[in-house]
């Protein structure tokens, strides 16, 4: 049994990870800025091995006190949603840099660290599928959406340097569009937003012309991938994609959701200029190669898109009642 610390533990992915860690008989401290009475994701956790600490990763003294006692550390704290990133680029960057700064200062070789990075670091790279060894092309600094990708990529550099220089065991996972039950509608993720519109009988809104493609990874698959990487020492000091290779256009996704919920619903195309704030840039195609993680750990995603949509639909319908 390991003592685990999860930053961003009250969030969507963090709460699923914590449930799994507790089931695997680990003790867990969830560290998050949200007050306990607003943590619907964690209310069901009733275990003496679980503790919640409210605070910010920018509170260096508090965060370092939690790092010191942990054996496994999962760095999941982040600003989520393109709109939120654009509206608060400085806070977005600070969340990443602050937690990684303290990890680099005091983490030791007796600990093992997982850092949740993002497919956003691939930026404008046009190759498909995306492999971990590609040169990365990010956007212009006056486009605020790139604050998230830049801070994540800087964190990757710092942590991999920590591994090389101080032999601190760690692994980086780049998430591609993780979805599933408990996902917060306010973050603007496309699947819960389209499902919410469909459940309410509203037109399904697709930004742009709908030809942009994405792939979607079930949160249970993402958690399995994290734990698989943490359990294989051959993964240490490396970066891995975590996602699903099944791709679909956003227009095609809206059509699937319409067929699932109500075939009579309208699909409405909205130009980006009418929907997103200044500083937004769209990425037309973003699909991962998963060969590296398969070869290292044997992990592969289990859930197909149709099953993912059914799970999300059932969970969201219950939540909206």
What is the pLDDT, as a whole number, of residue 280? 59
Rounded mean pLDDT, 288-305? 98
Q: Is 74 a catalytic residue?
A: no
Rounded mean pLDDT, 288-311? 97
Q: Which two tokens stand for residue 321?
A: 């009642």
In tens, the pLDDT along 19-43 reads 999 999 999 999 998 876 667 777 6
Strands of 285-286's sheet, edge to edge? 247-249, 213-215, 285-286
Q: Is residue 277's pLDDT more than 70?
A: no
Domains of the chain: 3-179+217-243+288-301 (3.40.50.720)
In tens, the pLDDT along 200-254 reads 999 999 988 999 999 999 999 999 999 999 999 999 999 999 999 999 999 999 9
What is the pLDDT, as a whole number, of residue 12? 92
Q: CB within 8 A of 27, min separation 6: which ones?
A: 1, 2, 3, 4, 49, 50, 51
Q: Which two tokens stand for residue 257?
A: 């959701």
Give the up-direction half-sphere exposure of residue 306: CA atoms within 13 A in the CB hemisphere. 2
How far apart CA 143 and CA 311 sit, in angstroms, is 35
246 C-beta neighbours (distance < 10 Å), count: 15
| DSSP string over 81-138 | SHHHHHH-HHHHHHHHHHHHHHHHHH--TT-EEEEEEEGGGGBT---SSB-TTS--B-
Residue 230 near residue 172 (C-beta atoms within 8 A): no
Q: Is residue 1's pLDDT more than 60?
A: yes
Whole-prediction pTM value? 0.93
What is the pLDDT, as a whole number, of residue 281? 64
Tokens 């654009």, residue? 86
What is the pLDDT, as a whole number, of residue 52? 93
What is the pLDDT, as a whole number, of residue 189? 87
What is the pLDDT, as a whole number, of residue 136? 93
Catalytic residue among 52, 122, 148, 163: 148
């Amino acid at each position: 049994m390991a003592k685990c610390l999860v930053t961003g533990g009250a969030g969507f992915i963090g709460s699923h990870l914590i449930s799994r860690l507790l089931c695997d008989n680990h003790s867990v401290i969830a560290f998050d800025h949200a007050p306990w009475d607003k943590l619907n994701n964690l209310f069901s956790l009733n275990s003496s091995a679980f503790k919640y600490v409210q605070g910010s990763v920018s509170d260096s003294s508090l965060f370092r006190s939690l790092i010191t006692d942990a054996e496994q550390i999962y760095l999941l704290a982040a600003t989520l949603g393109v709109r939120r990133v654009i509206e608060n680029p400085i806070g977005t960057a600070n969340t990443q840099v602050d937690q990684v700064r303290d990890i680099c200062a005091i983490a030791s070789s007796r600990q093992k660290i997982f850092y949740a990075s993002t497919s956003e670091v691939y930026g404008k790279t046009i190759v498909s599928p995306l492999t971990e060894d590609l040169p990365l092309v990010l956007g212009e600094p006056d486009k605020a959406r790139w604050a998230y990708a830049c801070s994540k990529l800087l964190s990757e550099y710092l942590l991999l340097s920590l591994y090389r220089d101080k032999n601190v065991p760690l692994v980086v996972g780049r998430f591609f569009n993780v979805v599933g039950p408990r996902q917060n509608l306010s973050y603007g993720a496309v699947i819960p937003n389209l499902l919410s519109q469909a459940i309410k009988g509203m037109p399904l809104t697709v930004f742009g012309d709908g030809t942009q493609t994405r792939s979607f990874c079930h949160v249970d698959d993402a958690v399995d991938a994290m734990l698989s990487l943490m359990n294989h020492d051959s993964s240490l000091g490396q970066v891995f994609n975590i996602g699903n290779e099944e791709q679909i256009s956003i227009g095609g996704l809206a059509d699937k959701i319409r067929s699932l919920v109500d075939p009579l619903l309208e699909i409405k195309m909205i130009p980006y200029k009418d929907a997103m704030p200044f500083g937004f840039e769209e990425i037309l195609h973003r699909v991962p190669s998963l060969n590296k993680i398969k070869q290292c750990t044997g992990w592969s995603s289990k859930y197909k898109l149709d099953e993912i949509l059914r799970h999300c639909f059932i969970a969201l319908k219950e939540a909206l009642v």
